[in-house]
Amino acid sequence: MIVVVSMARPDEYDRSDGASGHKRRFEKLTGCPVLNMHYSAVSPEALDRVGARAVFITGFGYPWSDVPMTDLYGLNDFLHTTEIPVYAACGGHQLVGFCFNVDLRKAKELFDQPMRKLRPGETDQGPYSHPGYYVATGYQEVEIVQRDPIWKGLRGKFRVLEAHYCEVKKLPPGFDLLATSPECRIEMMKHRDLPIYGAQFHAENWVEPYFDGRTIMENFFRIAGLIA
């Protein structure tokens, strides 16, 4: 069983009945069933009950300050004790950074950590994005800085979808930096002792001719023992 942890707002998750394109894509990729679960329902016990063998944490598009801290406690506890392989994307990657850089049970709220402000002459994405700040969009090049099984079939640089204006500012204790880009230093990281990967980019959203993301996701599910 693959569990997709949705970071959607509770009302948006309820309205969509937890539907996700990840479910269809991961089931097709692995042949394994996929269960969607809202982040507020996640705990070590909940994931044990459903027989999770791999966990994917999604991104999201609203401010971190809107996330109730108590809703993150169960997911935080899971991340600190997991033996199940975890892949966290975009906002999920940032959550992993928060969970290992700060004590969530002592934090009152979390705040966005933008990459940088716009430089003179750069195009502002407008009021419906993040005015005044650089936003990474489209299929961009990322560079591998440390070899790992997640990179099987890739060399040096690869191209994946970017869709974010925030980043993980500080590599958490116990993590290694695996990939970087000119605008985002921590594009991918991995815990040294726990089976946790965090990626700022969206490898899960691949399209022709950009299939490097598919290679990365296949490698993750191979690491989890779900595909040969």
Known catalytic residues? 90, 202, 204
Token duo for residue 154: 């890739």
How far apart (Å, rounded) are the C-alpha atoms in residues 214 and 120? 36
From 220, 223, 197, 228, select the one nearest 26 (Cα to Cα): 220
Peptide bond into 195 cis (omega under 30): no
Q: What angle do CA 113, 194, 162 make, to 5 degrees?
A: 35
Query: How many CB atoms neighbour CB 90 within 10 A?
Result: 26
User: How many angstroms separate the Cα of 4 from the Cα of each of 105, 124, 154, 171, 197?
Assistant: 24, 33, 25, 24, 14
Q: What angle do CA 191, 195, 199 make, to 5 degrees?
A: 65
From 11, 100, 128, 3, select the one nearest 57 (Cα to Cα): 3
From 194, 209, 207, 212, select the one nearest 87 (Cα to Cα): 194
From 180, 179, 173, 175, select the one nearest 191 (Cα to Cα): 175
